[in-house]
Amino acid sequence: MQSWADAEWFASRAKVPEKITVTVFKVDGETNTDDLSPAPDAWSRPDIPLHALAMLKNPRDGITPDKPGEVGPIKLLEELKAKGHPVAYVGDVVGTGSSRKSATNSVIWHTGEDIPFVPNKRFGGVCLGGKIAPIFFNTQEDSGALPIEVDVSALKMGDVVNILPYEGKIVKNGETVAEFELKSQVLLDEVQAGGRINLIIGRGLTAKAREALKLPASTAFRLPQAPAESKVGFTLAQKWSVAPAVCPKDKACVRVLTANRA
């Protein structure tokens, strides 16, 4: 109980380093989830290493599959890994399309680390995108990856760069080529915990253990910042979603919203 209260499960894990050196795997343009996890290969999705072979199996600018239509650029990925650094998936727009988690599974199979005692699955890795689709961003978080939205125009296939997550910089050949701001500082805790889900569950257990032992709240975790107050009005969809909570059904506001929705 004391171990959980002290958040030893979290503190014993390595923090996100101040400098992360990666080799760039650059995919120009937009990468959607069907590029990463093709629908015709849905049958193999439960077998992550097998399914990951189909990632980017169709030819596109800068990407030559090992076997077009069947096997993606696995040889190229292996050549990049041979430089001695983890590979980072880099794209202009990444992860649009459906919410399939298998897209993240495929990317992390090529860019992440083995999970001790868990076969055929990996976690971690780095994904850089000029724009990362929200649901894909979330599944990256769940898997312990570090997704960063940043201008990637200065990054080229095969570049070896240093990512400075605390300073918000990407450095190539000693020169800062891009700057960024993490979506939330809590993202660093998510990576340290091995994923957002691990952090949410573990943080909750730590809080309950401290409550049972009559201890004050833990200071081991970064706390999410409350969003700045906005003076922008609600969208119609937002109004409709909150209407039942704020307006009795016999009042005019609900009837007006219903008419507007139609």
Residue pLDDT, tens place only, 199-213 = 999 999 999 999 999
Cα–Cα distances in angstroms (integers) from residue 179 to residues 27, 151, 156, 162, 186, in the given order: 20, 8, 16, 12, 19
| Residue 238: predicted pLDDT | 73
- Across the range 41-53, mean pLDDT stands at 97
Least confident of 104-118, 178-192, 215-229: 215-229
Strand ranges of the sheet holding 126-132, from the earlier edge strand across to the other edge: 146-149, 126-132, 87-96, 20-32, 160-164, 169-172, 175-179
Strands (E), the chain: 20-32, 87-96, 113-115, 118-123, 126-132, 146-149, 160-164, 169-172, 175-179
- Indicate the domain borders of the chain: 9-196
The token pair that represents 185 in the structure block: 């500082």
Band the pLDDT of 235: cuts 50, 70, 90. Answer: confident
Size (the chain), residues: 262
Mean pLDDT, the chain, rounded, equals: 92
| Residue 262: predicted pLDDT | 44
Q: What are phi and psi of 245, to 5 degrees?
A: -80, -30
Band the pLDDT of 99: cuts 50, 70, 90. Answer: confident
| Residue 251: predicted pLDDT | 56
Report how far residue 45's alpha carbon sits from residue 187's, in angstroms, rounded to the nearest whole number: 27
Q: What are phi and psi of 261, to 5 degrees?
A: -65, -40
Band the pLDDT of 236: cuts 50, 70, 90. Answer: confident
Look-up of token digits 């340290």: 192
The beta-carbon contacts of 56-60 under 8 Å, at least 24 apart in sequence, are 56/27, 56/31, 60/27, 60/28, 60/29
For the domain spanning 9-196, the CATH number is: 3.20.19.10
Query: Percentage of the chain with pLDDT > 70?
Result: 91
Least confident of 81-90, 101-110, 233-242: 233-242
| Residue 223: predicted pLDDT | 87
| Residue 37: predicted pLDDT | 97
- Name beta bridge partners: 90: 26, 128
Hey, what amino acid is at 256?
A: V
- Across the range 126-130, mean pLDDT stands at 98
The token pair that represents 63 in the structure block: 């990407």
| Residue 224: predicted pLDDT | 84
Hey, what amino acid is at 148?
A: I
- Across the range 162-185, mean pLDDT stands at 97
Q: What is the largest CA-CA distance in the chain?
A: 68
- Across the range 115-141, mean pLDDT stands at 96
Band the pLDDT of 234: cuts 50, 70, 90. Answer: confident
Band the pLDDT of 253: cuts 50, 70, 90. Answer: low
Query: Which residues, in sequence order, are CB contacts of 241 under 8 Å at separation 6+?
Result: none
Band the pLDDT of 226: cuts 50, 70, 90. Answer: confident
| Residue 119: predicted pLDDT | 95
- Across the range 75-88, mean pLDDT stands at 98
